[in-house]
Amino acid sequence: MSRIQAKTDAFRAIADPTRRAILDRLRAGPANAGTLASDFQSSRPAVSKHLKVLREARLVVDTRIGRERVYAVNPVPLQSVAGWLEGYRAFWQVSLTKLKRNLEAK
Amino acid sequence: MSGIKTRARAVADLVDGCIVASVELATTPERVFRALASAEVVDWWVNPGVFDTREWTGDVRVGGYWRASGIGGGGPYALEGKFLEVDPPRKLVQTWHFAGAPGTPSTVTYLLEPIDGGTRLTVRHSDIAAPDRRNNIGAGWRSSFDRLSEILATHPA
């Protein structure tokens, strides 16, 4: 999978509110699918499907512990998603600061 | 004038792929509008040593074109677009595109509201093309857009 492809998947993955909620939950600490299903009052297959999308987008990583898979957040792709917009954000932050300075100069 | 202390603030909305920025300015909406829709743009689309807009031309009416060019990251860049809404001194909407780049333009919406002692300016930069639409790009565009974008990103405000 190319870097750009992984980034694209990250966008699709975070477009879904349940998946964003799962990511938020995993930021608090790793969890298995059963724990996430009960946290979200959702079926285990539904949660597993979301986890599969998140895993393919490399937003979460899973580790096998005994018979269980434990999921944790992988922050790297999220940073690249943020980086894509950061140029635009910085442009407006800097430009509006300059505009304020210019217009309020005595 | 009192109460106009709020600094500029720009945040990225990762889900919608847009930037929302705002600032309060101790001057009239008319004065602010002029700074947005005239060659005065070259005085504030500037971050010394990072990007420096040198020229701006625009035909400020609905359907009219604008173009800005300058130097960023040691090379030239040009932005261009079309005015979609011109409603001085309240609203200005324009498309925004890196000249020569494939893909659809993004949209910049300026809203100006009078507040006690001045003007609140809100900028929404939306429809920013996601990386998947930048997948089959030409090499020339990649070098100009990504260079500027990366330079902007590595010099956070």
Question: In CATH, what number is assigned to the domain containing residue A99?
Answer: 1.10.10.10
Give the residue numbers spanning the domain of B82: 9-154
B1 within domain boundaries: no
Q: Does B139 touch chain A (CB under 8 A)?
A: no
pLDDT tens for each residue of B88-129: 999 999 999 888 776 788 999 999 999 999 999 999 999 887
Percentage of chain B modeled with pLDDT above 70: 78
Sequence letter at residue A72 = A
What is the distance between the alpha carbons of residues A30 and A52, in angstroms, rounded to a whole number?
Answer: 15
For residue B156 the two structure tokens come to: 């956070």
If you average pLDDT over residues A45-52, what whole number do you get? Answer: 92
At B68 the pLDDT is: 94
Supply the pLDDT for residue A83.
Answer: 67
The shortest CB-CB distance from A95 to any of B22, B26, B45 is to B45
SS3 A70: strand
Confidence band for A98, pLDDT divided at 50, 70 and 90: very high
Contact B135 A4 (CB under 8 A): yes
Q: How far apart are the first and last CA of chain A?
A: 56
Confidence at residue B87, expressed as pLDDT on a 0 to 100 scale: 98
Q: Which has the higher per-residue pLDDT, B79 or B146?
A: B79
Place of tokens 């304020």: A100
pLDDT at res. B136: 37
Which residues of A lie closer than 8 Å to B, measured between beta carbons?
4, 7-8, 11, 14-15, 20, 81-100, 102-104
Preceding amide of B89 cis, omega within 30? yes
pLDDT of residue B130: 60
* Arithmetic mean of pLDDT over chain B: 82
- On whether any CB of chain A is under 8 Å from the CB of B131, the answer is yes
Is residue B124 included in any domain, yes or no? yes
Contacts of residue A4, defined as CB under 8 A and 6 or more positions apart, other chains included, come to: B131, B132, B134, B135
- Residues from chain A contacting residue B155 (CB–CB below 8 Å): 90
In chain A, the percentage of residues whose pLDDT exceeds 70 is 81
Residue A78, classed as helix, strand or coil, is helix
Please give the pLDDT value at position B40.
96
Structure tokens at B36: 């947005």
Q: Which domain holds residue A7?
A: 3-104
| pLDDT, position B77 | 82
Select the more confidently predicted residue: B156 or B51. Answer: B51
Give me the amino acid identity at B80: E
Q: For position A89, what pLDDT does the model report?
A: 86
What is the number of domains present in chain A? Answer: 1
Give a yes or no: residue B53 inside a domain: yes
Would an 8 Å CB–CB cutoff place B48 in contact with chain A?
A: no
Choose between B90 and A3: higher pLDDT.
B90
Cα–Cα distance measured from residue B20 to residue B22, given in angstroms and rounded to the nearest whole number = 7
Helices (H) and strands (E) in chain A, counts: 5, 3
B2 in any annotated domain: no
A81 interaction partners in chain B (CB closer than 8 Å): 14
Cβ contact, residue pair B27, A14, below 8 Å: no
CA B44 to chain centroid: 10
Q: Does residue A69 have a pLDDT over 50? A: yes
Of residues A87, A92, A103, nearest to B148 (C-beta): A87
Q: CB neighbours (10 Å) of residue B145?
A: 19
Q: Residue A91: what pLDDT?
A: 87
Q: What is the pLDDT of residue A73?
A: 84
- Concatenating the DSSP letter of every residue in A2-35 gives -HHHHHHHHHHHHTSHHHHHHHHHHHT--EEHHH
CA distance A32 to A71: 6
- CB burial class (10 A; 0-12, 13-18, 19+) of residue A53? middle
pLDDT band at B80 (very low <50, low <70, confident <90, very high): very high
More confident residue, A2 or A99: A99
How distant, in Å, are the alpha carbons of A20, A45, A56 from that of A34?
18, 10, 19
Cα of A74 to nearest chain B Cα, Å: 17
**pLDDT, tens only, A71-87:** 988 876 666 666 667 77
pLDDT of residue B146: 54
Number of domains chain B is built from: 1
Query: The domain that contains B116 carries what CATH number?
Result: 3.30.530.20
Q: Which residue has the higher pLDDT, B24 or B131?
A: B24
